[in-house]
Structure 1
Amino acid sequence: MENKVEIQARFGEALLKLIEQKGLSLRKLALASELEYAQVQRISKGKVNLELTSVIALCKGLQITPVQFFEIYESI
């Protein structure tokens, strides 16, 4: 089983992959997600253990469902 640090890093990788696929920047995603840019940056680097509300906000900003996000997460 993965530890907390590995899970956070993998989440960040999945987030960056989706950002690239959607043609967004971290700043644009932060605006669309209504999250602070610095927070999105830390998430993308795997430095944050997220709350569920932040996961949902990111998915809304990416215009995907949480299921779609975690399909990418599982593929990494």
Structure 2
Amino acid sequence: MAKSNNKDNFQIQFGKRIRALRKDKNLSLRKLSQRCNLDYSDIAKYEKGEVNIQLSTIYELSVGLQVAPKELFDFDFVFNDN
């Protein structure tokens, strides 16, 4: 059960990072979706940590946000073993 919580928490933290980068660049969901090949409603789901995304989606987000893919993962994460 802890592994599921870790995964969910990781997705949430990743989503918060996407949202922070988007806000830092003053982009709306719609504007970001225009800059990459993703639907704005899907981006909203990624930001909420509701969806486990694919590698190709990470690429599209990095293109749309104009950051290196590693920047999308620049957040603190603590693993819970129990």
- Fold conserved between structures, TM > 0.5: yes
- TM-score band, normalised by the shorter chain? 0.7 to 0.9
Q: Give 5+ residue unaligned stretches, structure 2.
A: 78-82
Quote the Cα distance in structure 2 between the aligned partners of 1:69 and 1:12.
9
Quote the Cα distance in structure 1 between the aligned partners of 2:64 and 2:76.
20
1:7 Cα deviation (Å)? 0.7
Quote the Cα distance in structure 1 between the aligned partners of 2:9 and 2:56.
21
Q: Give 5+ residue unaligned stretches, structure 1.
A: none
Partner of residue 14, structure 1: 17
Give CA deviations for 1:30-75 in whole Å, capped at 9, x if unaligned: 111110111111001110101000011000000011122222x348
Partner of residue 69, structure 2: 66
Structure 1 vs Structure 2 CA RMSD: 1.6
Q: Larger C-alpha radius of gyration, 1 or 2?
A: 2
The alignment's TM-score, normalised by the length of structure 2, stands at: 0.81
The alignment's TM-score, normalised by the length of structure 1, stands at: 0.87
**Equivalent residues, number:** 74
> For 1:55, what is the secondary structure of its paired residue?
helix
**Aligned-residue identity in percent:** 35
Residue 39 (structure 1) aligned to one of 37, 42, 45: 42
**Matched letter for residue 42 of structure 2:** Q
Please identify which structure carries the higher helix content.
1
Quote the Cα distance in structure 1 between the aligned partners of 2:71 and 2:48.
20
